[in-house]
């Protein structure tokens, strides 16, 4: 079965985000005074062929640990968007 998966990868809260700070200052200079704490991450969408939603999620989490995220400075959140069927017991 095919599952649509979304992965949000963000810097850990303690890691300084230079790109985010730069964009924040630019937005403020453009007149958006009410903007704070801009942080930039990655948003990855993919399709995974798996037996069930739980296995698709496990596969995506493994991909994050192995390649997509840098576990030293980044954290990730996986969402299986279309979960078609529960795992067989």
Q: Which residues bind a copy of itself (CB under 8 A)?
A: 2, 8-10, 20, 23-24, 26-27, 30, 32-50, 59, 62-63, 66-68
Residues ≥6 apart with Cβ < 8 Å to 25: none
Shortest CB 53 distance to a copy of itself, Å = 13
CB 85 → a copy of itself: shortest distance, Å?
15
Q: Which is nearer to a copy of itself, 43 or 88 (CB)?
A: 43
Tokens of 54: 């739980």
Supply φ then ψ for residue 76, to 5 degrees: -135, 155
Residue 55 structure tokens: 């296995």
């Amino acid at each position: 079965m095919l599952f649509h998966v979304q992965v949000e990868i963000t810097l850990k809260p303690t890691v300084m985000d230079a790109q985010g700070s730069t964009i924040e200052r630019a937005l403020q200079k453009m007149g958006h005074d009410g903007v704070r704490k801009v942080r930039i991450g990655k948003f990855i969408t993919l399709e995974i062929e798996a037996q069930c939603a739980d296995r698709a999620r496990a596969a995506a989490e493994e991909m994050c640990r192995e390649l997509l995220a840098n576990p030293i400075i980044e954290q990730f959140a996986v969402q299986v968007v279309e979960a078609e069927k529960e795992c067989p017991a």
